[in-house]
Amino acid sequence: MTGLSIMCCVSDMEWRTVAVTILVVTLCFFAIPIRVGPDNNSEDIKLFENYVARYNKSYKNNPIEYSDRFERFQRSLRHIEKMNDLRSSQKSALYGLTKFSDMSEDEFLQKTLYSDLSERGKKHVSASYHREHRKRKERNHLEKRAAGIPLKVDWREKGIISPVKNQGSCGACWAFSTVEVAESMYAIKNGSLYLLSVQEMIDCARNTNLGCEGGDICSLLAWLKLTKSPILPESNYPLTRMTDMCKLKGAIAKTKAGIKVMDFTCDSFIDSEEELLITLATHGPVAAAVNALSWQNYLGGIIQYHCDGAFTSLNHAVQIVGYDKSDTIPYYIIKNSWGPTFGDRGYIYIAIGSNLCGIANQVSTLDIIYK
């Protein structure tokens, strides 16, 4: 082989090497946008794999949805880190992974909460059963009354609070919270705790209530009082978590024994949470509309910040079963309806005094008779 031929071969090999190098570098640049981003690290991936297995997520065999949920999961991780960095003490709210952590905030609102609850609530503000507790001239008298109540009231300790229920995908928090208060009021009055039918309210309550598609506490109580409909035992009308035809006109109607709502209120305790504490201490548990949007990744502890209290932000309903003013951070004890594995064994704790999560916007008491 001549010297010229050798030089040509070497030159050709060098150019091939250069071409391959350029191609590889180019492909590397093209591959960058395919990655989710700098947070797509092995730790996040491992956490997500364990998360999917723990909650037995249905999309585990769907690559497209799996990838989409992973991105939402990562956003939750970053938000959890941010919220926990803001904790002011060991008693402050703690955030972590929950069954809702693979949802976007908007999806959580649309699938778990009800953004139209505040619109529903407006119609009750001018009703006869609505009361505003904001009278400044009564402030001294109110403070004296508040001083006379216990520092701590936890109705769970009295055995009048039923186990935490799980509403699942049925948007009937309004029915769960109302029926649970009725259970408690009966137990206070008669000394025995009986489970009552949430499903009856889902299927039968009218007055703009739409079963699993939404409703509100005050509309339900108004319907119960007007129609004198008894709330039947759960054993007579079991929970299915689906809206169905009302069975009160059938065989179940023969079971006449039930609890009837004699009277009720839908109160505003904004700027007067002392009155709410007095109500909890002297009357019993209450049902309340709240803003639960920030609860998506809640694990426990006392919510003190970052929970909007505006009336327009109401989107969920719960039962308030007590309070504790003896703690360094005074708080309400909230019974939720997302099952006992959510939050602190199904409970949420909210600091007293700032209408956090809208806790004082619309609170309902009720009185019952057994018939």
Q: What pLDDT score was predicted for residue 32?
A: 28
Whether residue 175 is contained in a domain is answered as: no
Q: What pLDDT score was predicted for residue 176?
A: 98
List per-residue pLDDT tens for the chain, 371 residues long: 444 343 333 334 343 333 334 333 333 333 322 234 454 589 999 999 999 999 999 999 999 999 999 999 999 999 999 999 999 999 999 999 999 999 999 999 999 999 889 899 999 988 989 988 765 556 666 666 777 899 999 999 999 999 999 999 999 999 999 999 999 999 999 999 999 999 999 999 999 999 999 999 999 999 999 999 999 999 999 999 999 999 987 655 556 678 999 999 999 999 999 999 999 999 999 999 999 999 999 999 999 999 999 999 999 999 999 999 998 999 999 999 999 999 999 999 999 999 999 999 999 999 998 86
- Write out the two tokens for 353: 């005094």
Strands (E), 238-358: 259-268, 286-290, 298-300, 302-303, 316-324, 331-335, 347-351
CA–CA dist 140, 82 (Å, integer): 41
- Write out the two tokens for 342: 């959510």
List the domain range (segments joined by +) for residue 132: 105-168+259-370
Q: What pLDDT score was predicted for residue 208?
A: 95
For 290, residues 6+ apart whose C-beta sits below 8 A from its C-beta are 314, 315, 316, 317, 318, 334, 357, 358, 359
What total of structural domains would you count in the chain? 1
Whether residue 271 is contained in a domain is answered as: yes
Q: Name the residue type at position 101.
A: S
Residues annotated catalytic, as ranges: 173, 316, 336
Whether residue 326 is contained in a domain is answered as: yes
Whether residue 128 is contained in a domain is answered as: yes
Whether residue 91 is contained in a domain is answered as: no
- Write out the two tokens for 280: 């909890």
Helix (H) and strand (E) counts for the chain?
Answer: 10, 11
For 227, residues 6+ apart whose C-beta sits below 8 A from its C-beta are none
Strands (E), the chain: 94-95, 130-132, 152-154, 259-268, 286-290, 298-300, 302-303, 316-324, 331-335, 347-351, 362-370
Q: What pLDDT score was predicted for residue 148?
A: 87
Whether residue 192 is contained in a domain is answered as: no
Q: What pLDDT score was predicted for residue 255?
A: 61
Whether residue 53 is contained in a domain is answered as: no
**The domain spanning residue 293 has which CATH number?**
3.90.70.10
| H/E stretch holding 66 | helix 63-85
Whether residue 269 is contained in a domain is answered as: yes
